[in-house]
Amino acid sequence: MECYVTCFQVTACFFFGAKHATYNGDLPSENLILFVVSIYGRLYTLYMIADLLKLFGITNVSESVYEQKIS
């Protein structure tokens, strides 16, 4: 059970970008997998931020200001 908790914690830290500073991967494949987890975590975070901005209608603010200045 302790091994599962440690692996889950390492994976969650890499996913959310709070990497373990003391964690050193032993195998190259392990480092590659954690790198891919980091990339997917970043993409997920960017998607969630874009979705929230779209929800609150903030995505078209710069376009509307530009159109007002042109008129």
Q: What is the pLDDT of residue 38?
A: 85
**For residues 39-48, average pLDDT:** 90
Q: What is the pLDDT of residue 47?
A: 92
For the chain, domain boundaries: 2-70
- Give the percent of the chain with pLDDT over 70: 79
Q: What is the pLDDT of residue 36?
A: 86
- pLDDT of 29 > 80? The answer is yes
The rounded mean pLDDT for the chain is 79
Backbone angles phi, psi at 59, to 5 degrees: -70, -30
Encoded amino acid at 32, one letter: L
3-state helix, strand, coil in the chain (%, to 5): 75, 0, 25
Question: Closest Cα to residue 23, out of 43, 36, 7, 42?
Answer: 7
pTM to 2 decimal places: 0.63
